[in-house]
């Protein structure tokens, strides 16, 4: 899944700090999965940073069509995909300036989603010493699933202590 990380000129940075959202899930969008004001995660960000992530279907198609199938592909080969993501983000948010970054970095996440997640929050092995398996592939296929999986496992372990 490709994602675009963009920073903006000082004249546009004040607009980013006034956005009415910190993140937008783009459920059902043909291209996008997430638009986030990544700098909102920091206590004292130096400047706003926008992260735009494609959905899995778009990402898979782009890997095949745009030469992104290899992690060693040149970063400049990825820029058109990043610009496409920013243009889509501008359309979704109504913030046209999102499509005009000062710096654009495109990152390729080849294993962004578990292909076959399980329903259970975790798995355990019946061994002499307890062994638990948790992760984003338990109960979903996103980072939130990894957190919930770890928390559920910790609760089970704590209840047996």
Fold category of 2-108 in CATH:
Polyamine Oxidase; Chain A, domain 2 (3.90.660)
How far apart are the C-alpha atoms of 99 and 89, rounded to whole Å? 8
- Percent of the chain scoring above 90 in pLDDT: 22
Can you give the pTM of this predicted structure? 0.68
Chain segment 108-125, per-residue pLDDT in tens: 766 666 777 888 888 888
Tokens read off for 102: 């000062």
Q: Residue 16: its pLDDT value, please?
A: 82
Mean pLDDT of 130-149: 85
Sorted by where each begins, the domain ranges of the chain are 2-108, 123-159
Mean pLDDT across 27-52: 82
Q: Is 81 helix (H, G, I), strand (E, B) or coil?
A: helix
The closest of 118, 124, 120 to 141, measured between CA atoms, is: 118
**What percent of the chain clears pLDDT 70, i.e. is strictly above it?**
81
| Helix or strand (DSSP H, E) at 79 | helix 75-93
Interval 67-116: pLDDT, tens: 554 444 455 556 788 899 999 999 999 999 999 888 888 877 666 667 77
Between 50 and 1, where is the model more confident?
A: 50
Report pLDDT digits (tens) over 8-20. Answer: 888 888 888 888 9
DSSP code string of 98-126: GG--SEEEEEE-TT-S-SS-BSSS-EEE-
């Amino acid at each position: 899944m490709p994602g675009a990380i963009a920073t903006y000129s000082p004249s546009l940075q004040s607009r980013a700090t006034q956005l009415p959202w910190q993140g937008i899930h783009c459920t059902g969008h043909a291209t996008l999965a997430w638009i986030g004001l990544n700098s909102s995660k920091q206590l004292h960000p130096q400047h706003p940073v926008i992260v735009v992530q494609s959905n899995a279907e778009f990402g898979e198609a782009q890997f095949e069509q745009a030469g992104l199938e290899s992690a060693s592909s040149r970063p400049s080969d990825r820029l058109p995909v990043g610009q496409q993501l920013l243009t889509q983000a501008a359309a979704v948010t109504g913030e046209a300036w999102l499509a005009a970054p000062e710096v654009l970095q495109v990152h390729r996440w080849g294993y962004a989603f578990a292909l076959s997640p399980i329903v259970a929050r975790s798995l355990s092995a019946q061994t002499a010493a307890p062994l638990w398996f948790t992760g984003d592939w338990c109960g979903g296929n996103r980072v939130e699933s990894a957190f919930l999986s770890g928390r559920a496992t910790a609760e089970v372990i704590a209840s047996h202590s």
